[in-house]
Every structure is written in structure tokens, then in C-alpha cells.
Homo-oligomer: A and B are copies of this chain.
Amino acid sequence: MSFKPRATLPETAFTLPAKYYVDASVLDRELELFYRRMWVGVGRLEEIPVRGAYVTRAIAGDSVIVLRADSDDVRAFYNVCRHRGTQLCGEAAGRLNGAIQCPYHAWTYDYQGRLIGAPHMDGSPGFRKEDFPLNQVRAGVWDGHVFVCLSTSGPSLAEHLDGLPAKFAPWRMGDLTVAHRIVYDVRANWKLIVQNYNECLHCPTLHPSLNKLSHYLSGENEPLRPTYMGGRMDLSDGIATMSMDGTCPRDPLPGLAAADRRRVYYYSVFPNFLFAPHPDYVLVHTLWPDAPDRTRIVCEWLVHPDERAKASFDLSDAIAFWDMTNRQDWHVCEQAQAGISSRGYRPGPYSNREDLLYAFDRFVVETLGDC
């Protein structure tokens, strides 16, 4: 267990005013500037395993089709027909049969989004199919994680991820597979979830079990980057991974250095992708704001397929541990939301161990500007 002194925060390092957590206008602006202009994590490539497979995702309220257009080509389109605006794919997932056809009047698009069929439009003066392709947005993949960016301009996915692909290459996340998924509906602002994720000062009070596995004063944070933040914690002596009893019935991920077999990393890629590489699995949370005080959280446990293929494979200890810890966190985030929504709330002082939160708040305020 190592202890590193943190930089001292200024006297003015206080939490944000309540409006950042309760005002619908602030959330609208966040959806615009974070969820529509940045790259958001939308799931795993294995969910669209073959050509024609698709999932739909509601990003900032708008349904998007994420389509395996070809073996090495993932594309994303607004789920909207160019004829009369009908939603093209009504299901959460499915497999297309060579084309995207609107269920209303049979306008038909190929996998590149080009309009290839439009019944009875022949007699319309000036009508040209090439003027009505699907409204395409950007899609990209990093080690099996699929990202979508609704903005057609701005940084590439590689630029957004910056140093992360190199740093976490040893975990070979592209090889991993989702062994379990839980979806939570949390009555708290999405930023409270991010903040909760990025400090462990609350661990002794809220997570006594977790605190035994990795002490809250262990580890080290990286300074805030423009698009992500994170740090690591060290497993306590005799602890093999984050699980109910600290033992690990699974092999560590292949290729990990010895040091990384003793650590857990917690990183938040803005705005919605939180991932935590463990010695033997990777935990991923994606955050989906539904309202200023409501966030849907998808939590996935990723494991190596070789491990999963074993007859003895059992992830229940890690699932139980994080489900318990998740629920403790969501509950206290809901209490924070309730308190911050009160007229009795006043911004309060951060401690030096909440340095990432203060940095995140600065990032939020600077990105949003006046609001």
C-alpha cells in the first residue's frame, strides 16, 4: 500500500451550485456539448457480430442505428426515414436482410445509407434518390468497445481516446467478451455518478468490504486529461481481485505485467464511458442521462473467452461484489441528488483527495460556459 500526497486544492475548491444538478436547461446544454459532440460508448462489437446485425441506441434522446455494414465496417445512422420521418428499426437489436427498409412506404437504403428504392416517387419533379441518403453519424471501435459521435466534425475517436489505447493495450480488451450485464435506473444526475466513480474518500464509510480489498489511501491519480480522468488503486496483501472474499478463481488476463496483477484502474472517458481493468476482468459502466435527476447505467463484466470456456468458470463472486458496491454507490448518489436539490444546499469544500472531482467540475463549467 502506497500513499502519495495529493496536490493541495485552492481555498475556493467548492462543489458546484445546485443548478448544475437540477436544471433541465443545464442538462440540455450538457446533452448538446457532451453527448452530441463527443464520442459516447454504445456497447461491444460482439453485439453486432455479423454483416447486417444492428443495435439501436438512444443518444441524447435520439435513436441511432449502429450497424455492422461489413466485417470491418461499423456505421451509424439516425433511425429516421428520409421520406416521412418514420423510425426505421423498431427493435433494440436485430439482423437486416441486405437492406434497411422503412416499414411505412418501403423506402429502402443500402448498408452505406444510400437510398436505393422509393416507390411512386418517379413522377415527382426534381426528385433524385442521391439527395436522400440516411443521416449518417460517425462510428468507431477501440479494442471491442464501439463508440458513436453524433457530430460529423470534431476530434476523431483516436484523438478523443488519446493515450488510453496504448496504456491499456496489455489488457487486450478487444479479445474479451461480456459475461454479465446489469442495467440500473438511478435517481441522480449523471455527473454525480462520474464524481462518485473518481474518488475513494467515501470508501471507508460506504464500502467497508471494498476498503478491505484495496485501501482507500492506496494508489494514485493521473492528472485530468482533456477527455478523460482516472487513477489506480492497489490490492491489499493477500487479495487477488475485487470479489466478495478477495480470492480469484480465475486466471489473470494473459499478457499482464506483474505490477498490473496487483492493481485496479478506474478511468472515466467523457462523457459516458467508465471502465475499470482488473487483474482478471474489466468492468464497464456506460451512463445514459434520462433527466437532470435520473440516469440509466449499463454495467458489464468482460472476461477472457478462454476463461469463460472452462467448465469451472464462475464469475459470481465478482458480479456479487460489484453489484453490491454499485447499489451502495447509486443509493448515496440518490441521497446527494436529493440534498443538492434542496434549498438548504450550499456548495461545500472539497478535500485534497477529491482533486479529480474539482478538476472535472472545472472542465464541466468551462465547457458549458454561461448557463
Q: Which of A101-133 contact B (CB under 8 A)?
A: 102-106, 119-121, 123-127, 132
Q: Which residues of B contact A206 (CB under 8 A)?
A: 103-104
Chain A 315-371 residues near chain B, CB threshold 8 A: 332, 335-336, 338-353
Contact of A335 among B8, B87, B125, B349 (CB under 8 A): B87
Determine the chain B residues whose CB is within 8 A of the CB of A157 once the complex forms. none
Q: Are A345 and B80 in contact (CB under 8 A)?
A: yes
A205 on the B face (CB < 8 A): yes
Asked if residues B339 and A81 are in contact (CB atoms below 8 Å), the reply is yes
Of the stretches A9-17, A46-54, A249-257, the one at the interface is A9-17
Query: Taking the complex as formed, is A79 at the interface, i.e. its CB lies under 8 A from any CB of chain B?
Result: yes
Question: Shortest Cβ distance from A170 into chain B, in angstroms?
Answer: 33
Contacts known (A103-B335, A104-B202, A205-B106); A351 close to B120, Cβ less than 8 A = yes
Q: Is the CB of B339 within 8 A of A86?
A: yes
A165 at the B interface (CB under 8 A) = no
Q: Are A62 and B15 in contact, with the CB atoms below 8 A?
A: no
Q: How many copies does the complex hold?
A: 3
Q: Are B90 and A335 in touch, CB under 8 angstroms?
A: yes
Report A208 CB to chain B, min CB distance, Å: 12
Contact status of A103 and B205, CB under 8 A, knowing A124-B351, A125-B10, A344-B80: yes
Tell me which residues across on chain B come within 8 A of A15, comparing CB atoms.
84-85
Chain B residue, CB-CB nearest to A136: B344
Q: Shortest beta-carbon distance, A69 to chain B, in Å?
A: 17
A215 → chain B closest CB, angstroms? 14
Of chain B, the residue at the smallest CB distance from A36 is B343
- CB contacts (< 8 Å) of A80 on chain B: these are 339-340, 342, 344-346
* A125:B11 contact, CB within 8 angstroms: yes
The residues of B that contact A106 with a CB separation of less than 8 Å are 204-205
Contacts of A132 in B (CB 8 A): 348-349
Question: Beyond A63-B338, A104-B206, A205-B104, is A348–B81 a contact (Cβ under 8 Å)?
Answer: yes
Give Cα distance in the complex from A341 to B59, angstroms.
13
Say if the beta carbon of A82 comes within 8 Å of chain B. yes
Q: Can you list 17 A-B contacts (CB < 8 A)?
A: A8-B125, A13-B124, A18-B85, A36-B343, A64-B344, A78-B343, A78-B344, A79-B339, A80-B339, A80-B340, A83-B349, A85-B340, A86-B332, A87-B338, A88-B339, A104-B335, A132-B349
